[in-house]
Structure 1
Amino acid sequence: MQVRKKSLSLRLKQTLFMKKIIIAIDGFSSCGKSTMAKDLAREIGYIYIDSGAMYRAVTLYCMEHGLFNADGSIREKDLQDQMDDIHISFRLDADSQRPQTYLNDVCVEDRIRSLEVSSHVSPVAALGFVRQALVRQQQAMGKEKGIVMDGRDIGTAVFLDAELKIFVTASAEIRARRRYDELKAKGQEASFEDILHNVEERDRIDQTREVSPLRKADDAILLDNSLMSIAEQKEWLKEQFEKAIHASR
């Protein structure tokens, strides 16, 4: 196995001199898409773009600027008028060397991962004008290729011609447990039942929304990581990347 890993690492380094591609990783919430995409981007020297964080950042903006009504609905006209004031960027953390999400030049990485933001993000992401604005930003980021982007509609709406598309899934219970463990590790209070309900509700909204509903692209490769370790996922992703990069030569 050790020989296999060294051989794969050497071939990955060799691919860096080949034609760059776009890698689109879509799937359900709390499947570990962001972790996979970040690790793969760092391994192959690509730029990582977390599209989900962008929608979370818009949601946080709405919460901080009173754009949610008391019943949880969104003041859509006010949000639409303020979309030009919402600037989202990614910067590498000097210590962890992982990308951090910035909203109008303020790091919001931890705040956008809270359960409160998770509970409000799907209705915001379902708004057509929000998706159009962020898709334009994402497409601009990908003009030079050499990027890894994860989200809900990267392979079906943002980059239809992405050379490598992956669709990730896992059972709702396993995803809720992962989210619960993540929040507890950060010292945040969490209820497994509340998180499971949130995961199931987000699945329903994501799959039934009118604008860019969550679905597997016809040319995407399915990855069910319910019973896979992080190491197994990384190995699998590297192999898919290697196949795609050689196919695009």
Structure 2
Amino acid sequence: MASYFPYYFYRGFDLKTLRFHAIYGVPLFLLLPYLVFFVIGYSLNKNLNAAIEYGSIIPFFYALILLWAIIKAIRIQYKEHRERNNFLEEVGVYFAVTPWASMPILSYFHASQLVEVLFTNTGFIIITIIFISTSIKAARKEYAELLELKMADKQSSPYFTENCSRFGLTKREIEIVQNIRQGHKNKAIAEGLHISEGTVKKHIENLFHKTGTNGRMELINKLVSKDNG
């Protein structure tokens, strides 16, 4: 699990400076110690206890490097984008995964199983709090967006048809846009058009790509606006 965290941060938060650790984290964390101490070391001295004793040395030091690399990547990301909410979420997740990334350190110092369990469960509690908080914020944002979309749909636009043609939208894509304007979610759109929800998502991705937008509200605003260049 500890070796997975660099990849999680790399993909989940787009922390590009973690690319090396994301790709080679598992080999460095798991395979290298196994090869050095259990395959090579044990084959030379036939001492299994020594292999177990020293097998956590590489993960110990690599865990320290990882913790520093992740927090450094978060700081760089914040300096470039200055998004306070994302920064706080990233730091919160960092402290949540720190107990797991620190497992090799606890193992190196022969910490008791009780200490390890308490330490790692703290991480789970933090992750749970972050997940609930993020879910509530996302639900509120989605609800507010749906209200805006319904309000926007009540106002007819003389530029909608022209813009749909300008961006090269297909008949099916226009149908989906009209459903989005009415505040329908993907599942309702799929049921209304008798297609799968995955197909709806794919069409919406194509709509974002064609119009150069990143969200439903931005998509609708661009299609109903006169100045959309």
TM-score where L is the length of structure 1: 0.22
Name the structure where helix makes up a greater proportion of residues: 2
| Higher normalized contact order (CA 8 Å, seq sep 6+, divided by chain length) | 1
TM-score where L is the length of structure 2: 0.24
Bigger radius of gyration among the two: 2
Name the structure where strand makes up a greater proportion of residues: 1
